Structures are given as structure tokens and as C-alpha cells.
Amino acid sequence: MPDQPLLDVTDLRVSFRTRRGRVTAVDGLSFSVAPGEVLGVVGESGSGKSVSMLAVLRLLTNPNVTVSGEVLFRGRDLLSLPDKQMRAIRGREIAMVFQDPMTALTPVYTVGWQIAEQIRAHEPVSRKEAHARAVELLSDVGIPDAASRVNAYPHEFSGGMRQRAVIAMALACSPALLIADEPTTALDVTIQAQILDLMRELNARGSAVVLITHDMGVVSEIADRVLVMYGGRVAEEGPRQAVFHVPRHPYTWGLLDSVPRVGGTRLRRLPTIAGVPVSPDSLPEGCAFAPRCRLRHERCDERPELSAAPGTPAHRDACRLPADDRTSLRLTARAAATGAAAAEHAGRASKAERADKADVEREAAP
């Protein structure tokens, strides 16, 4: 029997009241996370990744925001829990790591004090014991000379060290779920790899992880399942292998095709996804990706529901293309995108050539 989900989100909707009217940032999002699994969440900027996770954690406190849907965590609906119970869940059962570690750290207290308080909020240990654990945790996450750095303030840490301190806080409570939103984006590559290792370690100790990232390479390394978001909705979701090897949604094709393949047999010009991401104040009635989709047809004016790929119930996508012909359709779409990219490149190249020629002629003129 499959595991009961740890987190089960159904029909999550988030909208903001703005001067331009109401904008819908998350539009009927449903997904789940099993105990101990790593879910990679991908999608272009503005696709609603952060807003949806902030809504799950009840961290959208803006009075202009409206959140609806159901967010079951271990069977309890987080959206209707009293604040006190929600605070107890955050930090102890669900930990968070954001792109900017200063979101989680208070500038006026030492890093060690903050980690120790986190431990003491959830465990009946003395101040001294909590302090000793904080030193141990900082050392575990690779902070050199942890015994003295524990007394430093966040501004005395580098960005990578701060992020590690936040992860130490997450490790402190062995949460059932870690939600990490672009935790490595601001860091250099070596530190990125260390942070990912720490998340793997947390996962190996039994924590499930939701990892939001722009980096398809990271997702391909670390995720068990992948959720592809577009326009505040799920475009595709499924096991990592399935999404990477037999992706089904034209938006996922675009995301994958615009990533260079390391060790590929040949170089080819990488197409980008044409057009701009849909804005939450103008979501189409039908498929949100339609304005950018080369395979758009009249049925796309009706919003596609998520449906399973033939024979693979765990792999689902929201697209109105025929279910069994996606591979050849992908080739068609890729050829069109590559052709367009090549034409654009050629246009740019000949313009540059003309400019070079004009410069040479100018210089050669008496």
C-alpha cells in the first residue's frame, strides 16, 4: 500500500487585492508529498512557487491576500488550525529555508542563541545543553571554529554561513518536512553543493523535502518527484525519471530544452521558451500556457485538467494534446523552436556583420 501523504494540498488558491484589481497567483493547485520524499518544484519566475509554499505555511500575512483550499499535514488542515498550534508546527514539524537566510535570522541575537532557542522551544533542555547542541550543529553544517562562531551575530557570517546556520536550525528539530525555497541561488557553486549535501543528509534521516529551484540540474540529482508549475497551476507532475525522460507538457519540454546538456554528443543552439510568462492579473480562461504554445489548438480554450499518462497513473499533466502521441509532437515543437532560435540568431549575426563591415569601411576611409 502506498504511503499516506505527509502533506496533501487540494485546490489551493491565493489571490491578492491590488490597485489593478484582484490578481490570482495560485489557481487551484493540488499536490502531495509522501513521508521522506524529495519533491522538486520548478517553473519560471512568477509561476507561484513561493506564494504557494508561503500559503501552505500560513506565512502570507498581508491583509490583501485571500487563501482558500485544503492543506492537510499529517491529517490536520493547516489553513484552519489555531495560530498557536500552527506556530508549534512551524519549526518543529515543518522547517523552512528561504533564499535569503536573513528571513529566518534575527539580526539582534547571536546565531548560537537563535539555534539554542529553537531547540528549547521544542525540547525540555537547559540553556547550557541547548548551547552545546548549537555548537555541535554549527560544526555539523561545516562552520569552522563553531565553539567561538556560535557567539557571532548574523551580519558577521557570510551568506553561505548564514544559510548553513538556518539549515542547522532545521536539523535541530529533525522536521518531518523541510520546505526550501531557492536555498542556494545566492551562493557560489561550492557552497551550493555543500548545502545540497546537507539537505540530502536531512532527507536520509527521514525528513521529506520540498525544494523550489530554477535549477533543473539540481532537481535531476536530488528529487524523487517533480512538480512543474506555470501560471499558479500544475502543468505536469510525476516521478523524476518520467518527467525528465518522457516529459508530456509543452511547457516542460521548453524548460528542459533550454537547459544545456552536459556531456551531450553535439552542441545545438538552445531554444528559449518564446514569449513572456503569463501575468497573474491576466490568466487565460483556458490553458495558461496557450499564448506561448506552438501546439495550441481550439480545445485549449477550455482549461485542461490534470490527467495521467497512459499506463503511468503517477505521471500527470494538464494539456489537451492527444495522450499517446506526445513524443512526436515534442519533436515537432522542438524543431519549430530551434528553427525560430536559429533564424533570430542569424538575424542578429547579419546585423552585427553589417555593423562590423561599416566600422571597417569607416576606418579604411581616407
Ligand X SMILES: Nc1ncnc2c1ncn2[C@@H]1O[C@H](COP(=O)(O)OP(=O)(O)OP(=O)(O)O)[C@@H](O)[C@H]1O
Tell me how far apart the alpha carbons of residues 333 and 295 are, in angstroms, rounded to a whole number: 7
Which of residues 138 and 290 has its CB atom nearest to ligand SF4 in the complex?
290
Tell me how far apart the alpha carbons of residues 247 and 106 are, in angstroms, rounded to a whole number: 42
Residues in region 224-253 near ligand SF4 by CB under 6 A: 249-250
DSSP 125-193: --HHHHHHHHHHHHHHTT-TTHHHHTTS-GGGS-HHHHHHHHHHHHHHT--SEEEEESTTTTS-HHHHH
Which among 338, 334, 337, 318 has a CA at the least distance from the CA of 248? 318
56 is a site residue for ligand SF4 (CB under 6 A): no
289 is a site residue for ligand SF4 (CB under 6 A): yes
Which of residues 51 and 319 has its CB atom nearest to ligand X in the complex?
51
Out of 300, 309, 337, 341, point to the residue binding ligand SF4 (CB under 6 A): 300
Measured from the CB of residue 24, what is the shortest distance to ligand X in angstroms? 8
Q: Which does 222 bind (CB under 5 to 8 A by kind): ligand X, ligand SF4, Mg ion, none?
A: none
Q: Which does 166 bind (CB under 5 to 8 A by kind): Mg ion, ligand SF4, ligand X, none?
A: none
Q: Which does 295 bind (CB under 5 to 8 A by kind): ligand X, Mg ion, ligand SF4, none?
A: ligand SF4
Out of 233, 248, 315, 320, point to the residue binding ligand SF4 (CB under 6 A): 320
Which of residues 172 and 273 has its CB atom nearest to ligand SF4 in the complex?
273
Binding site for Mg ion (CB under 5 A): 50
Tell me how far apart the alpha carbons of residues 146 and 166 are, in angstroms, rounded to a whole number: 14
Count of H helices and E strands in the chain?
11, 12
Helix H or strand E encompassing 358: helix 326-364
Residues in touch with ligand X (CB under 6 A): 16, 18, 23, 25, 43, 45-51, 62, 280
